[in-house]
């Protein structure tokens, strides 16, 4: 569910017409609905209501805007971060260290130190070299680092190859077969406190069976580790639950269904439960609003050339991802549809959002919206072709605010410098 619907023939974000935002901010622009963010976070709260100790740690990599993070933090969300920059964003949004989980395969010593100084719930450690380095950093600061080892269960998430993380050939985590050995090493290291087990098998999962497989292995490992004397009191179940990018397809499982899978697998262990949703909270809470530059009649196909490009929304070019593209002005029910290749202005053939998308006849200046663009949209944007970064807007009821401004070309150029000797 989202809060982008037609009212009076115009697509609205909650009670704000997207035409008003386009006039005030320009296009392209990302628009987020606060009501959707709140509703989706609430669904995860309901899904884990059975677990007396739990943390819903929003995956900051999905949408790192400070306003979005603060909105979720005010509802009690923790944050799952994968870099020092994301850690700083979580802190700047008012999230206390005890609600921040630090994941990622390439944590630097500097990032470890910053998190230990600023407060951290736990590090999800992904390798033995990382574990040794974390021990050294913690000892040098005179503190103890709480850790959960990320264990790779070798489970196929049945998702896109580029976002599958739980198979043996993926770079993430410690092989399940070596987990007991690595936990024993963690227990011997100074400055390290073993607190839990972490698993994350991928993103955009639309089937609950891979979770069942992974969590069954997680439960067995937890019992084995406890038998070895480890105080396993937290289970980080990862995230990755998919969203419906196509309105005409069957919807993926709901958070309540995922929560039941978790309950069936590990509730009897009495551990605190942590989950790290990102896309499922933010994805359908946002659209990318764009304007038609030209309608180009080609040889055997027609092109809709937009002012949004692959540098603004990279998912179609990178993952062959689908986003429903809809006109902001509601078409007549009987309006005929025609196939358009929807493309951007960047000098790449890969700057193509859709081929043969069924749309009503469009004119220069018309507005369109890319649905389900609230996750992995603005965060992955770049300034390729020297196009300024796309701005972001947050809507709440009948009002809106710019939460990241579009930089001017002069501001973009000012970040470069020419050496005196040139």
**For the segment 246-305, what is each residue's pLDDT rounded down to a tens digit?**
876 678 899 999 999 999 999 999 999 999 999 999 999 999 999 999 999 988 889 999
Whether 1 shows a pLDDT value over 80: the answer reads no
CATH number at residue 314: 2.40.37.10
- Does some domain include residue 88? no
**Same domain (yes/no): 247, 349:** no
- Does some domain include residue 140? yes
Q: Which two tokens stand for residue 95?
A: 């999230």
The DSSP secondary structure of 7-44, one letter per residue, reads ETTEEEETTEEHHHHHHHH-SSEEEEEHHHHHHHHHHH
Task: Tell the residue number behind the tokens 């005196």, with chain if given.
Answer: 420
Q: Which two tokens stand for residue 118?
A: 């600023």
Residue ending a domain, choose from 231, 255, 275: 275
**Same domain (yes/no): 129, 268:** yes
Q: How many CB atoms lie within 10 A of CB 116?
A: 23
Q: Give the pLDDT of residue 160.
A: 45
Q: Model confidence over 56-115: pLDDT tens digits?
A: 999 999 999 999 999 999 999 999 999 999 999 999 999 999 999 999 999 999 999 999
**Same domain (yes/no): 309, 390:** yes
Contacts of 80 (CB under 8 A, 6+ apart): 57, 58, 59, 60, 100, 101, 103, 239, 276, 278
**Same domain (yes/no): 388, 298:** yes
Q: Which of 227, 347, 418, 422 is catalytic?
A: 347
Residue ending a domain, choose from 275, 307, 336: 275
Whether 202 shows a pLDDT value over 90: the answer reads no
- Does some domain include residue 197? yes
H or E segment to which residue 194 belongs? strand 192-198
Distance separating alpha carbons of residues 234 and 272, to the nearest angstrom: 5
User: Total domain count for the chain?
Assistant: 2
Q: Which of 88-97, 173-182, 333-342 holds the top average pLDDT?
A: 88-97
Identify the domain containing residue 364 by its residue range.
4-31+283-414
The confidence band for 166, taking pLDDT boundaries of 50, 70 and 90, is very low
Q: Give the pLDDT of residue 163.
A: 41
**Same domain (yes/no): 236, 307:** no
Whether 156 shows a pLDDT value over 70: the answer reads no
Closest-CA residue to 147 (of 162, 157, 159, 132): 132
Q: Model confidence over 229-253: pLDDT tens digits?
A: 999 999 999 998 988 888 766 788 9
Is 347 tagged catalytic?
yes
- Does some domain include residue 54? no
CATH number at residue 167: 3.20.20.10
Instruction: Show the DSSP H helices in 119-199 as ranges.
Output: 128-141, 179-188
- Does some domain include residue 53? no
Residue ending a domain, choose from 226, 257, 275: 275
- Does some domain include residue 325? yes
Distance separating alpha carbons of residues 19 and 24, to the nearest angstrom: 9
């Amino acid at each position: 569910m989202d809060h982008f619907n037609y009212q009076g023939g115009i697509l609205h974000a909650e009670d704000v017409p997207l035409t008003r935002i386009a006039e005030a901010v320009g296009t392209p622009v990302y628009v987020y609905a606060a009501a959707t963010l709140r509703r989706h976070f609430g669904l995860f709260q309901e899904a884990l209501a059975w677990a007396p100790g739990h943390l819903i740690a929003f995956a900051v990599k999905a949408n790192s805007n400070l306003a979005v993070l603060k909105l979720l933090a005010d509802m009690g969300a923790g944050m799952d971060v994968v870099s020092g920059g994301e850690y700083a964003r979580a802190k700047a949004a008012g999230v206390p260290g005890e609600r921040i989980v630090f994941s990622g395969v390439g944590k630097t010593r500097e990032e470890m130190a910053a998190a230990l100084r600023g407060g951290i719930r736990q590090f999800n450690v992904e390798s033995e070299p990382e574990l040794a380095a974390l021990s050294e950093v913690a000892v040098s600061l005179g503190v103890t680092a709480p850790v959960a080892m990320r264990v790779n269960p070798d489970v196929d998430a049945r998702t896109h190859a580029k976002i599958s993380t739980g198979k043996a050939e993926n770079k993430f985590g410690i092989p399940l077969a070596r987990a007991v050995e690595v936990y024993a090493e963690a227990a011997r290291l100074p400055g390290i406190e073993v607190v839990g087990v972490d698993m994350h098998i991928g993103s955009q999962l639309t089937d609950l069976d891979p979770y069942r497989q992974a969590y069954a292995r997680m439960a067995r490992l937890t019992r084995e580790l406890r038998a070895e004397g480890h105080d396993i009191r937290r289970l980080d179940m990862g995230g990755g639950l998919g969203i419906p990018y196509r309105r005409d397809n069957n919807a993926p499982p709901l958070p309540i269904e995922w929560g039941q899978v978790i309950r069936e697998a590990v509730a009897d262990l009495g551990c605190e439960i942590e989950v790290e949703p990102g896309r499922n909270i933010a994805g359908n809470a946002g659209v990318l609003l764009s304007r038609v530059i030209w309608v180009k009649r080609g040889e055997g196909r027609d092109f809709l050339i937009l002012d949004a490009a692959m540098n603004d929304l990279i998912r179609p070019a990178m993952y062959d991802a689908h986003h429903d593209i809809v006109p902001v002005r509601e078409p007549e029910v009987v309006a005929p549809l025609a196939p358009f290749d929807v493309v951007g202005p960047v000098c790449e053939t890969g700057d193509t959002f859709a081929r043969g998308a069924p749309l009503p006849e469009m004119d220069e200046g018309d507005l369109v919206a890319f649905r389900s663009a609230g996750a992995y949209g603005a965060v992955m944007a770049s300034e390729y072709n020297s196009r300024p970064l796309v701005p972001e807007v947050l809507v709440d009821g009948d009002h809106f605010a710019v939460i990241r401004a579009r930089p001017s070309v002069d501001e973009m150029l000012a970040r470069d410098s020419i050496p005196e000797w040139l």
